[in-house]
Amino acid sequence: MKKNCLILGGGGFIGSHLADALLDRGYGVTIFDKLNFSRKNINHVLDKVRIIEGDFNNEVDIKGSLAGIDVAFHLVSSTLPANSNENPIYDVESNLVSSLRFLNEALINKTSKVIFISSGGTVYGIPEKTPVKESHHRKPICSYGIIKKTIEDYLFMFEKLYGLDYSVFRLSNPYGERQNPLAAQGAVAVFLKKIILGERIEIWGDGSIERDYIYIGDAVNALVKSLEVKTDERIFNLGSGKGHTLNDIVRTAEKISGRKAEVKYLEKRKIDVPVSVLDNTLISKTLGWKPVTDFEEGITKTYEYLKKELL
Ligand SMILES: NC(=O)c1ccc[n+]([C@@H]2O[C@H](COP(=O)([O-])OP(=O)(O)OC[C@H]3O[C@@H](n4cnc5c(N)ncnc54)[C@H](O)[C@@H]3O)[C@@H](O)[C@H]2O)c1
């Protein structure tokens, strides 16, 4: 029988795509998200999923959500890389402490596996060599990355001491349909929205910052594959393995839309590492997965989606 999967943060960008991919493969899906969360991202699957509203910071809610669950995907974060240093104590309380409570509850509930979405763009800090391999040192320069790194370490501890099975995916920069173009994260959606609405794009630095952009459909397929392949590997980079600059996004968006973008370059931010491209050899070999959507194709899909949403 196929497993019952819980997606904590399942109403969000990545969680809603993960729900689609799991349903396609016949898994049972329970979505846990905030009280009265917007159903926009999951409207099309409301009759196929179980929904639990609650607060990740509330022990009783988390305990209740885990009943009858085989695999729990942890996709909740209350901070972003760019704002996490404003209040690291809040970051620790809402993300680290709550994640520890969740791991305790997963043990008590005998959840067979926990899958955690970490961050390939922040856990390594400033890469010494790119593409970055999983064995690269982890020296994050933002609180968000420190929390992701520490949750990874607790997962290791819970497995070693108490036998809780887990996988960690150090995700690069996902983009695609349903990414919020009004958020402070996700350059592809933000830039496309500005081009569509004829607004000025603002870039911190000279636009040469290089990132590993991965199309969301490819990213969630890797997460689902991990349920189907037996392996002792637990920590994977999840990215395209290719680097693109912010200026590349602008140029590609101009090409696809046929519009000229107005760009204002601002002073660069200290928290932005100059280059972050992930080596995806391990995940490709172990899970037999590879990204199939190239940069221009993925940006075209996202553009078409946003055009319908915004105009
Ligand atoms: N989007 C990216 O670029 C990216 C990159 C690497 C890692 N990640 C990680 O992936 C995960 C999902 O990211 P996303 O882009 O889908 O974010 P998102 O904001 O679209 O989705 C997160 C969901 O979690 C829910 N949530 C937040 N706090 C909650 C709480 N206290 N109780 C219940 N639900 C709560 C939100 O309502 C939202 O629906 C996060 O852990 C994020 O750190 C994201």
* CATH number for position 190: 3.90.25.10
Does the C-beta of 10 come closer than 6 Å to ligand 1?
A: no
Q: Tell me, what's the pLDDT at 270?
A: 84
Does residue 82 carry a pLDDT above 90?
no
Ligand 1 atom nearest to CA at 185: 3
Query: Could you tell me if 194 and 221 lie in one domain?
Result: no
Which of 7, 33, 273 maximizes ligand 1 atoms within 8 Å of its Cβ, making it the mutation to test the pocket? 33
**d(CA 17, ligand 1 centre) in Å:** 12
Query: 132-164 pLDDT, tens per residue?
Result: 999 999 999 999 999 999 999 999 999 999 999
Q: In what order do the strands lie in the sheet with 113-119?
A: 50-53, 28-33, 4-8, 71-74, 113-119, 166-171, 235-238
Query: Could you tell me if 121 and 181 lie in one domain?
Result: no
On the CB side of 127, CA atoms within 13 Å amount to 21
Residue 65 CA to residue 107 CA, distance in Å, equals 13
Query: Could you tell me if 205 and 306 lie in one domain?
Result: yes
Q: DSSP letter string over 15-62? A: HHHHHHHHHHTT-EEEEEE-TT---GGGGGGTTTSEEEE--TT-HHHH
Q: Is residue 37 part of a domain?
A: yes
**d(CA 11, ligand 1 centre) in Å:** 9
Query: Could you tell me if 64 and 182 lie in one domain?
Result: no
Read off the pLDDT of each residue in 197-220 and give the average, rounded to a whole number. 97
Q: Are 171 and 119 in contact (CB under 8 A)?
A: yes
**d(CA 9, ligand 1 centre) in Å:** 6
Query: Could you tell me if 262 and 225 lie in one domain?
Result: no
Q: Tell me, what's the pLDDT at 287?
A: 98
Q: Say which CATH number the domain at 163 has.
A: 3.40.50.720
Q: Tell me, what's the pLDDT at 72?
A: 98
Query: Could you tell me if 61 and 134 lie in one domain?
Result: yes
Domain count, the chain: 2
Q: Which residue has the tokens 């409570």?
A: 101
What domain range includes position 248?
177-212+241-278+293-310
Q: Tell me, what's the pLDDT at 273?
A: 84
On the CB side of 32, CA atoms within 13 Å amount to 23
Which of 75, 96, 101, 171 maximizes ligand 1 atoms within 8 Å of its Cβ, making it the mutation to test the pocket? 75
Q: Is residue 288 part of a domain?
A: no
Angle at CA of residue 301, ends 297 and 302, nearest 5°: 115
- Band (127; pLDDT cuts 50, 70, 90): very high
Q: Is residue 187 part of a domain?
A: yes
- Within 10 A of 63 (CB to CB), how many other CB atoms are there? 17
Give me 225's structure tokens.
């594959």
Largest CA distance in the chain: 57
Residue 263 CA to residue 199 CA, distance in Å, equals 9
Query: 40-73 pLDDT, tens per residue?
Result: 999 999 999 999 999 999 999 999 999 999 999 9
**d(CA 280, ligand 1 centre) in Å:** 23
Read off the pLDDT of each residue in 103-123 and give the average, rounded to a whole number. 97
How many angstroms separate the Cα of 282 from the Cα of each of 165, 238, 240, 286? 19, 9, 12, 6
